[in-house]
Amino acid sequence: MEYRILGTSDVKVSAITFGAWAIGGWMWGGAERKDALEAILASYDNGVTSFDTAPAYGQGLSEEIIGEALQQIPRDKVQILTKYGLRWDVKKGEFFFNSTDNAGNPIDMYRYAGKESVIEECENCLRRLGTDYIDLFQIHWSDKTTPIEETMEAIALLQQQGKIKAGGVCNYTADEMKAAEKVVSLAANQVPYSMVLRDIEKELVPYTRQHNKAIIAYSPLQRGLLTGKIKPGHVFNDGDTRAGNRFYTDENISRINAFLSGIKPLAESKGATLAQLVIAWTIQQPGITVALVGARNAEQAIQNAKAAEVVLKPEEIMFINDRLAQLELVKPS
């Protein structure tokens, strides 16, 4: 496993980090708690030291599971990355969307990052995680009703108090990062990035590379699509947000699977799965610091961690990139 510093902070994380949304259940179906705990511990045993979660993932459940698992590991050997700014328990800020909790009860999600709310959320996160500090505290989504400077004042205060080591953002533009930087030095921006979704390479990656900020890439497998296991005609479960998404039309699934068939021999030559090859490609892209990958059980966790052992030569990355350049996805009309 390779370990990388987040920006100019003191936080060093594993290049492959455990993404804990799925184990929280919310919008993902969840996992058996025993399996989730085993997945976290298996990740650590295979070199993954960093765990990314959020209060919204199961309305606290994901953080509680992470906290329970990490009681079995020395705290200074792991890095806890969590978030703030998505509230379901108060109706403040910017309405985001309607949802349901794990019990099927309706909830309203709000983006809210007022100073007092950020401080309150930090205390709640620390309690659920069973720790006295958070390595990286990230705003989950921007809140247009609160000045960025006010939000970041809370982060600066929490850093001074030793409750967080570093502050980060998620889903921020370069301009939003610039505004935040007037108050605090950001460590990282967590954004979607995959072989088939590379929008951030235009503006965000050049900005973060120039200013020495980390990029934490989420959904590097494009929510399962880049494993090759999803076939045309796939029926998604009720509530699965992939249904109707432009990437998951039969035509685009077919085109992506054809691309994957073309790079599969490279994966096989390295004794790797397609998913491992995709993860390895992701963490070897310029400006990409971390790939977030989820697992519902120990076997999945081990397979994810082993992607770090897949070393790609420059000409192999070029081979993949050339194939990607030929991949044309159908855009919605």
Distance CA 311, CA 315 (A): 12
Distance CA 208, CA 266 (A): 31
* Torsion sign (Cα): 164, 166, 167, 172: negative
Q: Residues of 48-83 as b/e, b for ≥16 C-beta within 10 angstroms?
A: bbbbbbbbbbbbbbbbbbbbbbbeeeeeeebbbbbb
- DSSP reduced 3-state for 80: strand
Distance CA 63, CA 69 (A): 10
Among the listed residues 312, 327, 197, 316, the one whose alpha carbon sits nearest the alpha carbon of residue 259: 327
Whose structure tokens read 């159908």? Answer: 330
Report strand pairing: 134-139 vs 164-170: parallel
Whose structure tokens read 């720790």? Answer: 131
DSSP H or E run through 86: strand 86-87
Which whole-number Å values give the CA distances from 86 to 138, 145, 290, in the listed order? 11, 13, 23
Q: Cite the DSSP H helix spans in 25-164.
A: 33-45, 61-70, 115-129, 148-160
Among the listed residues 193, 173, 207, 213, the one whose alpha carbon sits nearest the alpha carbon of residue 284: 193
| The one catalytic residue among 57, 110, 193, 207 | 57
Please say if 57 is a catalytic residue: yes
Annotated active-site positions, please? 57
